[in-house]
Structure 1
């Protein structure tokens, strides 16, 4: 799963990957939690835009924005089967820029947090699905879910799932709703290659979502683990 992540790269770094984007700049965030606002890249009326969405998808048919669980993740394997995601898979796909995400690994009675990021610090684009929901007062709520896949072998020791990090060559197809979403998900949403990301042990400040500053990513020496629990090398 992906329950916390960071968006710290500026517009220029994002546009270098996906091309020019209309819309306002959004502030750097180091510890984004579900129901908070996130930046997504999408296409509307043929124009690529960077826009703020609530993290936690609210489908258009929802009776209210609290009648369903907070759907901040969507499993790639069942996107085409679940009614809550099926329409968005075809008509409302987006890219969610990220500079890393956080996972917690149980070590005895302690949960060690990890920052998972690219070794070169380059931003990554998560596959996302967005929806528009009409509030009772007539205003619009836009929301997004991040698609997840089985973790790559070198990250599975931290968590069994990971966000679907799209390769560069898939950005255009994911944003192009003329491309069939079901076939795109089946052929393109897979674990990242081994070595694509590094897992860095960090301090416990990240545990509190209200701590939203660069210090939450400060590396620490990880707790010593029993030999029988040793996993593939983590930083």
Structure 2
């Protein structure tokens, strides 16, 4: 599951890393939540671009924006069979830049938030899918979802699922729509090897999506207590 993440790299750094042209400006974000806009990397017209899309995929067959649940995650193992995702897996794959994501570990009735990031603090890419949906006023809603996989052994104690992190050697293939999406997903959604990521218990500020500054990543202090949540706080 991935219901919150951070993307704090500059637009210039991401453009250089990915060899992409930014077509939208964006600022560092420390607490991105579903329904908000965030940068994605896609290939259109033979050019690799960085654009802002809404997190929460609206399938092409939807009759209105609210006719489906907010599809912010898609299981990598079944995306090729699901009507909401299978066409996008073949024709509209994207990379979702990130510097970290948040998971909540259940402790009795409480949930402790954790920041998950690379040990070397480098940015990384989630495997994503995007769609374009035509609104009644003829404007386009561009949206995306993040694929998930079973958690790696060093993260499974926090949550049984994790976002699918694509190793850099698979970035080009993921953005090449000539490559079959189903076989590609089976081949390259295994994620990074064990030991690449670290987890840091953080304070309760991250529970509120309106808190979007670097303070949400501060390690939990002795005064911080796990919060009682009856449902995941995603928005």
Q: TM-score normalised to the size of structure 2?
A: 0.92
Deviation for aligned residue 1:110:
2.2
Pairs within 5 Å for 1:125-140: 125-140=125-140
Is 1:56 the counterpart of 2:60? The answer is: no
Secondary structure of the equivalent of 1:97?
strand
Q: Distance in 1 between matches of 2:221 and 2:210?
A: 23
- Contact 1:201–1:221 under 8 Å retained in 2: no
How many pairs align? 224
Q: Distance in 2 between matches of 1:123 and 1:176?
A: 21
Q: Distance in 2 between matches of 1:52 and 1:182?
A: 25
Deviation for aligned residue 1:14:
1.6
Q: Which deviates the most, 210-219 or 7-16?
A: 7-16
- Contact 2:20–2:47 under 8 Å retained in 1: no
Q: Distance in 1 between matches of 2:215 and 2:146?
A: 25
2:89: which partner in 1?
89
- Contact 1:13–1:123 under 8 Å retained in 2: no
Secondary structure of the equivalent of 1:77?
coil
Is 1:200 the counterpart of 2:189? The answer is: no
Q: Distance in 2 between matches of 1:163 and 1:80?
A: 17
Q: Distance in 1 between matches of 2:208 and 2:104?
A: 13
Secondary structure of the equivalent of 1:84?
coil
1:158: which partner in 2?
158
Q: Deviations over 1:35-87 (max 9, x none)?
A: 11111010100111111111000011100010000000010000111111010
Secondary structure of the equivalent of 1:78?
coil
Structure 1 residues without counterparts, runs of 5 or longer: 225-235
Consecutive aligned runs of 4 or more in structure 1 exceeding 3 Å deviation: 221-224
Deviation for aligned residue 1:15:
2.8
Deviation for aligned residue 1:19:
1.3
Structure 2 residues without counterparts, runs of 5 or longer: 226-235
Secondary structure of the equivalent of 2:22?
coil
- Contact 2:127–2:166 under 8 Å retained in 1: yes
- Contact 2:166–2:191 under 8 Å retained in 1: no
2:190: which partner in 1?
190
- Contact 1:36–1:54 under 8 Å retained in 2: yes
Is 1:167 the counterpart of 2:162? The answer is: no
Q: Deviations over 1:130-179 (max 9, x none)?
A: 00000011100000000000000000000011111000100000000011
Deviation for aligned residue 1:213:
0.5
**Over the residues paired in the alignment, what is the CA RMSD in angstroms?**
1.4
2:233: which partner in 1?
none
2:228: which partner in 1?
none
1:105: which partner in 2?
105
Deviation for aligned residue 1:221:
4.8
